[in-house]
């Protein structure tokens, strides 16, 4: 739980930090927040334009925050405006505004009970959006798509606004913005008995969430950062769990940004960071995968054996397709780490674990290890022997299959041993660096011959990386079909055969891997399988 005894000290500490020492966000900005002038004396609110001259809504025309929207801040389709209270209908979203003028929606857990402590999940939208992004993409309710129905969920406005368009919100990373967000967290956590606080942000919101957690570690028990890197000086030494979630087909921010962020955390001696790559997904919100990431945060943060076991079981439960009809493999590596805490493994094992819970954890560990071994045997049968660096690009499905297994089973001993045997991580590190370099220099515009030669060689130097330009395969394929017109050299065309094999190996391998991981059954009672909903 975030320590309430530290909160008073946080207020004072925030005031003395120099603005010059806090970096700008690595995400693209959109204007900057207005300066905060001296507050005018309170005035009676103007009549609501839609009320026919009657009493005005007290939330409209707030002067608390000069950057906040004025009378246009609410829409008819917004949730009912209601101050946070334990008497509200559970599982239903309501809208309100902080003392400092930040709009937000909030919802109670579906099975909310007064006096019981719950985890608080705060959603931070991408830049150039607003608080509606959170509850529209991560809906409350009782249906199968409900987001984190067992937690209190808050979706908040960015702390900054474009001076000419106040409805466009951002999360600038500066002292004023971070302190205002802190005040919102304290304001909300005083209303409800809060157990732990988890932050989820996408794009600029994800960068901000990481920096907020670095500045105020007592107010964050874990962060999920989706589709972004980490701003300079925000990756610090600590043990708060961080998940860097990223779609490999993200057109806005390449997946290499999350990999580089992970390296920055490790260089800072941060003890607990995981990259969760969704191989077939793009830059859209993905509440199902975010919910799984929060299950992981819970599992590695709690000291309660029953809670850790429940979170691990949730991680091992296959989920149905999301709203985009997208499926994803079970995150076996994250579940394995969580289960290890129940049997004395890792840097922070749970103490005094009941014998029944420990036995259940051991049984699940055996199943996860066996599943990893099953996939290793499958991919081994597809490959030639020897180190991975000497594996021929023959178009076989081993390539996509191997990448999927390595990412989803990271930390599973049966897969770790195989990865070490073939030298996977060393080669993958080289290929990721080569892919980043290629992205910086390669362009499909200009001279086709030069772009073709550079692109072909770039793929051959980085075929194990998921960070290559997303369109490079299609571009090279198109040019190869018009080789005579573009006067492509014979040696580059000969090398292109391996590029075609690279594309085929990724595609058929991921398909073969999915056919196998979909065979996994949690073998748990239906009540446990449905807990994630």
- Output the DSSP codes for 159-225: SEEETTEEEEEE---SHHHHHHHHHHHHHHHHHTTEEEEEEEEETHHHHHHHHHHHH-GGG-SEEEE
Same domain as 133, residue 273 = yes
Q: Kindly compute the dihedral angle of the four CA atoms of residues 323, 325, 330, 333, in this order, to the nearest 10 degrees.
A: -80
**Most distant CA pair in the chain: distance in Å?**
81
Write down the residue that tokens 């105020």 correspond to: 216
Residue 523 lies in a domain: no
Structurally, the chain folds into a number of domains equal to 3
Question: Which structural domain, as residue segments, surrounds residue 64?
Answer: 4-301
- Asked if the structure places residue 327 within a domain, the reply is yes
186 and 146 belong to one structural domain: yes
284: in domain: yes
Q: Report pLDDT digits (tens) over 198-233.
A: 999 999 999 999 999 999 999 999 999 999 999 989
The answer as to whether 530 is a domain residue is: no
Q: Where among 382, 401, 425 does a domain terminate?
A: 382
Place of tokens 């607003």: 130
Domain shared by 420 and 322, yes or no: no
Question: First-to-last CA distance in the chain?
Answer: 23
pLDDT tens for each residue of 299-358: 999 999 999 999 999 999 998 887 777 888 999 999 999 999 999 998 899 999 999 999
**Contact yes or no for 205/224 (Cβ under 8 A):** no
What is the edge-to-edge ordering of all strands in the sheet holding 94-97? 94-97, 103-107, 152-156, 118-124, 194-202, 222-226, 242-247, 273-278
Same domain, 11 and 45: yes
- Say if residues 14 and 6 touch (Cβ distance below 8 Å): no
Which residues 6+ apart lie within 8 Å of 458 measured at CB? 434, 435, 438, 442, 468, 472
Same domain, 179 and 235: yes
- Of the residues 301, 328, 363, the one at which a domain ends: 301
Query: Do residues 428 and 337 both lie within one domain?
Result: no
Q: How confident is the model at residue 192 (pLDDT cuts 50, 70, 90)?
A: confident
| Cβ-contact 404, 329 below 8 angstroms | yes
Predicted local distance difference test score (pLDDT) of residue 390: 94
Radius of gyration of the chain (CA): 25
Asked if residue 238 and residue 358 are part of one domain, the reply reads no
CB 400, CB 513: distance < 8 Å = yes
**Closest by alpha carbon to 383, among 356, 331, 422, 333?**
422
Residue 233 is given by DSSP the state: T
Q: Return the pLDDT at 242.
A: 98
Supply the pTM of this predicted model.
Answer: 0.84
Asked if the model's pLDDT at residue 410 lies above 90, the reply is yes
CATH number, position 191: 3.40.50.1820
Helix (H) or strand (E) holding 490: helix 490-517
Domain assignment of residue 533, yes or no:
no
Burial environment of residue 441 by CB neighbours within 10 A (0 to 12, 13 to 18, 19 or more): exposed
Which residue would you say has higher pLDDT here, 288 or 48? 288
Same domain, 78 and 138: yes
Residues 79-138: pLDDT tens digits?
999 999 999 999 999 999 999 889 999 999 999 999 899 999 999 999 989 999 999 999
State the Cα torsion 124-290-302-259 to the nearest 10°. -90
- Domain assignment present for residue 529? The answer is no
Q: Yes or no: say if 198 and 174 are a contact pair by the CB < 8 Å rule.
A: no
* Encoded tokens for 264: 């920055």
Distances (CA, A) of 515 to 175, 318, 379, 408: 49, 13, 13, 15
Give every CB contact of residue 1 below 8 A, 6+ residues apart in sequence. 117, 194, 195, 196, 221
Residue 464: name the closest of 407, 412, 381 by CA.
407
Q: Please tell me whether residues 161 and 12 are part of one structural domain.
A: yes
Out of 301, 328, 358, a domain closes at 301
Q: Are residues 233 and 127 in the same domain?
A: yes
11, pLDDT greater than 90? no
Q: Does some domain include residue 525?
A: no
Write phi, then psi, for 230 (nearest 5 degrees). Answer: -120, 130
Pairing assessment for the beta strands 273-278 and 242-247 based on DSSP bridges: parallel
pLDDT for the residue numbered 322: 75
DSSP-derived pairing of the beta strands 118-124 and 194-202:
parallel
């Amino acid at each position: 739980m975030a320590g309430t005894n530290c909160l008073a000290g946080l207020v004072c500490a925030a005031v003395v930090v120099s603005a010059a020492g806090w970096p700008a966000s690595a995400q693209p900005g959109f204007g900057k927040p207005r300066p905060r002038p001296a507050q005018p004396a309170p005035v009676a609110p103007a009549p609501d334009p839609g009320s026919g001259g009657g009493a005005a809504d007290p939330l409209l025309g707030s002067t608390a925050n000069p950057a906040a929207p004025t009378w246009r801040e609410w829409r008819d389709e917004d949730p009912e405006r209601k101050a946070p209270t334990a008497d509200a209908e559970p599982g239903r979203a309501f809208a309100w505004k902080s003392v400092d003028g930040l709009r937000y929606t909030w919802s109670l857990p579906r099975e909310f009970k007064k006096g019981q402590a719950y985890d608080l999940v705060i959603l931070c939208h991408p830049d150039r959006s607003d608080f509606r992004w959170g509850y529209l993409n991560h809906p409350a309710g009782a249906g199968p798509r409900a987001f984190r129905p067992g937690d209190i969920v808050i979706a908040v406005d960015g702390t900054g606004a474009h001076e000419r368009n106040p409805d466009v919100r951002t999360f600038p990373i500066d002292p004023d913005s971070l302190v205002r967000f802190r005040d919102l967290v304290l304001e909300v956590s005083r209303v409800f008995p809060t157990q732990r606080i988890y932050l989820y942000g996408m794009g600029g919101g994800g960068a901000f969430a990481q920096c907020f957690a670095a500045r105020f570690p007592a107010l964050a028990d874990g962060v999920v950062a989706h589709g972004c890197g980490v701003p300079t000086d925000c990756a610090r030494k600590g043990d708060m769990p961080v998940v860097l979630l990223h779609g490999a087909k993200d057109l806005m921010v390449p997946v290499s940004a999350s990999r580089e962020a992970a390296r920055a955390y490790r260089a800072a001696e941060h003890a607990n960071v995981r990259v969760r790559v969704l191989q077939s997904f793009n830059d859209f919100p993905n509440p199902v995968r975010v919910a799984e990431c929060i299950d992981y945060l819970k599992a590695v943060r709690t000291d309660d054996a029953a809670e850790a076991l429940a979170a691990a079981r949730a991680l091992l439960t296959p989920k149905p397709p999301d709203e985009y009809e997208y499926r994803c493999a079970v995150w076996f590596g994250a579940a394995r780490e969580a289960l290890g805490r129940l049997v004395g493994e890792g840097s922070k094992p749970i103490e005094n674990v009941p014998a029944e819970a420990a036995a259940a954890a051991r049984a699940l560990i055996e199943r996860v290890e066996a599943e990893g071994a099953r996939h290793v045997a499958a991919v081994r049968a597809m490959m030639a022997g020897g180190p991975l660096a000497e594996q021929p690009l023959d178009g076989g499905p081993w390539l996509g299959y191997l990448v999927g297994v390595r990412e989803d089973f990271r930390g599973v001993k049966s897969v770790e041993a195989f990865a070490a045997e073939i030298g996977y991580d060393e080669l993958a590190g080289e290929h990721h660096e080569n892919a980043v370099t290629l992205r910086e220099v390669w362009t499909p515009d200009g001279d086709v011959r030069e772009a073709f030669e550079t692109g072909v060689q770039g793929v051959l130097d980085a075929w194990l990386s998921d960070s290559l330009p997303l369109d490079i395969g299609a571009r090279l394929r198109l040019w190869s079909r018009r080789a005579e017109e573009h006067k492509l050299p014979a040696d580059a065309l000969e090398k292109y055969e391996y590029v075609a094999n690279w594309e085929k190996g990724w595609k058929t391998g991921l398909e073969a891997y999915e056919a196998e991981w979909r065979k996994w059954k949690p073998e748990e009672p239906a009540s446990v399988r449905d807990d994630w909903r």
